[in-house]
Structure 1
């Protein structure tokens, strides 16, 4: 991560230097054209000498303007202050640029670039030309500032959305755990009396489940992703607990290609999806809930189950799936990252895997 940040910083610095060099070269050529018109390109001595002097003067003015730019943005930082910023930048650029031209005017005369004697009309004409360039520069500066502000705002909004999604996901996880613990203890109390050997394995698998949940839960693990392989190890223990509890009322089939095991995903994805399926569908030996977890040929996760909704007097929402879906969409920064297919008989959701 440190190396990536360093390389990114170096890259930004190189882009900034290249942009400054291009701006300086373009400004030098435009200044020469404005000062001497067609003679600038036809007279080689004028082109070389004039370009050198112009480049030095423009570079010094550019550096001073660059130092003054942050003062303007600190004074007028708001989006609605664009007109005032442009006016102030124009004033700053105009004063600095025209002042440096007049300071450099004796140098133009000594080198013969300003013609014989002192031509006040030529100097005034050039000053107005510089003011026009300063106005264009002020407008470009405002466009650059507005774009940077927009990017900053977008980044802040994305960070807030990610924080909110992670908070909602953590809330769903915390809702799942108490119900899961109660159901496990209820099943365990029956097993201890009827099947001590099974009860021992049940406790072992239950401890694996809780160790995994503790390893991926918590405020310090908000941005954590896990591999498909580790999620599968966890869900196999979780499936054992469910099949022990529901017996023939539930069947969960895993068919995952080994080549995709290194793919990363949001932790507890399978548990949230399974719990939602169990919570909103009937689970019984006469009407078993059948769940399939597979991978597609393109490296996506597919979770599907038969639909047999419980008869509820009050319709319930499915916040777990919605929060999980939003989380995956945010990670992939596109709306089509998650696909949900549902009809009267089957529910299916396709989630992407992240490969780094």
Structure 2
């Protein structure tokens, strides 16, 4: 607010207003101070300029410190502005009193008291407007963050859905289904059931910002059923999740996107099986790890948005970012668990597919 365009016009107007307000309340009649009114008017304008510019310099300094907590920034701003106002008031007021009243400081007491009262009111007015201005900026920033998060979330969900409804995915699963129907009717029925569960979850996932890990695991099991039916022994899946973690929350379809990333970028064959492990070690995060068997992926097929989108969605929710680790043999991604309430018990179970 202190750096707005044409601020000197506002400074002069505020100085004039403060002087007129003092005149209208007949302060000079009740407290004769012996200083010409023209000098007092000039002093009011000068002190407003000093307070305003002092606050501007201090506010720029505080902004450079990148203080993210709103009330802390307000406290720093207000404390600094009080000291600035006190210094400018005593300095300018003392000079004027010395030149127009007396060289003795004892004769300045009443004048300085009145002047300090007026200047602190000016400072309070300016800081009140500044707080409103900062609050407005914070609201705008929050709105932009919400819109950005919605965009990122939508991109992630659309990308996840795109991965599943693209012609390759449909063709591969329909080919598997067509092979199952004449050989194993029961398996084909189960395949269709799991196939429908996958799409039902994907279509409804956009309705929630976070979802219980237990729901995501149920979805992942259906998704992995399709993959294992297709790749057979070429794909080995192991899930190890403690029951205490199942009540925690994660971003929807995040585990699926990590599994999809592993499938997309690695060779899968019976002679070279791809091992994917989904597990929780510390109860505060979930890791998806796979052995590296890299294959060449077309740029058009790899959008490179998956990991970035997951990371940004977690950051928006106030969680630590995802952790990516890669060696010559393994690649892993760890995502945080979001706790809304403490679990009542803690024990570990293992589920292997």
TM-score range, shorter chain: 0.5 to 0.7
Q: Distance in 1 between matches of 2:233 and 2:297?
A: 23
Q: Distance in 2 between matches of 1:138 and 1:185?
A: 71
Q: Answer yes or no: is the 8 Å Cα contact 2:264–2:297 preserved in 1.
A: no
Aligned length: 263
Partner residue of 1:351 out of 335, 342, 347:
335
Query: How many angstroms does 1:84 deviate by?
Result: 4.3
Establish whether residue 99 from structure 1 lines up as the match of residue 85 from structure 2.
no
Partner secondary structure for residue 290 of structure 1: strand
Give the Cα–Cα distance (whole angstroms) in 1 for the partners of residues 130 and 282 of structure 2.
Answer: 46
Superposed CA deviations along residues 147-184 of structure 1, whole A, max 9, x for unmatched, are 22432332133123212212321331231121333322
Shift of 1:247: 0.2
Task: Choose from 229, 243, 249 the match for 2:228.
Answer: 243
Q: Secondary structure at the match of 2:296?
A: coil
CA contact (8 A) 1:93 1:134 kept: no
Classify 1:122/1:78 alpha carbon distance in 2 versus 1 (closer, same or farther; 3 Å).
closer
**Structure 1 residues 97 and 226: CA distance shift in structure 2, 3 A:** farther
Equivalent-residue separation in structure 2 for 1:85 and 1:160 (angstroms):
35
- Native 8 Å contact 2:161 2:202 kept in 1: no
Distance 1:86 1:236, change over 3 A: farther
Aligned counterparts, 1:72-111, within 5 A? 79-80=4-5, 82-96=7-21, 99-100=24-25, 102=27
Secondary structure class of the residue paired with 2:294: coil
User: Where does residue 155 of structure 2 map in the other structure?
Assistant: 168
Q: Does 1:309 align with 2:294?
A: yes
1:351 offset after TM fit, Å? 0.6
**Larger RCO of the pair (alpha carbons < 8 Å, separation 6+):** 2
What is the Cα deviation at residue 313 of structure 1? 7.1
1:148 to 135, 139, 146: 135
Counterpart-to-counterpart distance in 2, 1:83 and 1:152: 27
The aligned residue for residue 260 of structure 2 is 275
Report the equivalent of 1:66.
none
Question: Alpha-carbon deviations, 1:229-276, whole Å to 9, x = none?
Answer: 111111111111111110001111110010111111111112111111
> Which residue of structure 1 aligns with residue 317 of structure 2?
331
Cross-structure match for 1:197: 186
Cα distance change, pair 137–236 in 1 and its aligned pair in 2 (3 A)? same
Q: 1:155 to 1:287 in 2, by over 3 A?
A: same
The equivalent of 2:146 in structure 1 is 159
Check 1:167–1:317 CA distance in 2 against 1; reply closer, same or farther (3 A cut): closer
1:244/1:93 Cα in 2 relative to 1: closer, same or farther (>3 Å)? farther
Q: Which runs of 5+ in 2 are unaligned?
A: 38-110, 341-353
How many angstroms apart in 2 are the aligned matches of 1:78 and 1:183? Answer: 61
Q: Does structure 1 retain, via aligned residues, the 8 Å contact 2:198–2:219?
A: yes
Distance 1:312 1:349, change over 3 A: closer
TM-score, structure 2 as length reference? 0.65
SS at match of 1:341: strand
1:237 and 1:186 map into 2 onto residues whose CA distance is 18
As a proportion of its length, which structure holds more helix?
Answer: 1
Aligned twin of 1:39: none
Normalising by structure 1, report the TM-score: 0.65
Q: Deviation string for 1:301-321 (max 9, x for gaps)?
A: 111111111135769453222
Is 1:177 the counterpart of 2:174 in the alignment? no
1:132 corresponds to which of 103, 115, 119: 119
SS across alignment from 1:282: coil
Distance 1:173 1:90 in 2: 61
Counterparts of 1:244 and 1:284, CA distance in 2: 13
Mapped partners of 1:97, 1:289: distance in 2: 83
TM-superposed deviation, 1:193: 2.1
2:312–2:321: 8 Å Cα contact kept in structure 1?
no
* Pair 1:188-2:177 in alignment: yes
Which one of 228, 240, 243 corresponds to residue 255 of structure 1?
240
What is the match of residue 91 of structure 2? none
**In 2, Cα distance between the equivalents of 1:197 and 1:265?**
34
- Pair 87,253 (structure 1): closer, same or farther in 2 beyond 3 Å: farther
Which residue number in structure 2 is paired with residue 293 of structure 1?
278
